[in-house]
Structure 1
């Protein structure tokens, strides 16, 4: 019985993280559209470069490292959605 409770707790944690990721993706997409509309491609490129710079500054023990390849892919995918 204890194992099932642990699996339920794990599922709640995973669901919570999935919702957080989806929320962040929506926020980034909205910011991208705003930057694209107000600053054009140059602003978008600059924003992606700043995100990559921010990612390179994340350090520490037991810290999940950002995936810079995914940042680039996400930026490219947003550019194609215009």
Structure 2
């Protein structure tokens, strides 16, 4: 998770918690609900950022595998051609 993503999600969770508590203390159900929603958004951003990182890692692994196969595949083609046949 990038530092920016982490800071953004932490900000939403903290702000959401503060709004939720404020709403409970003042009896303002709308403010309490707004806080719960914002806190949930922060948690969701965490999950999405982790998923994004996991997908990026898998894509990088696949690219590395393809690069290795490409390099070893070229060697196999060269070996498969073998020595040239002599013409009589």
TM-score range, shorter chain: 0.3 to 0.5
Higher relative contact order (CA 8 A, sep 6+): 2
Q: Which has the higher helix share?
A: 2
TM-score, normalization by structure 1: 0.47
TM-score, normalization by structure 2: 0.44
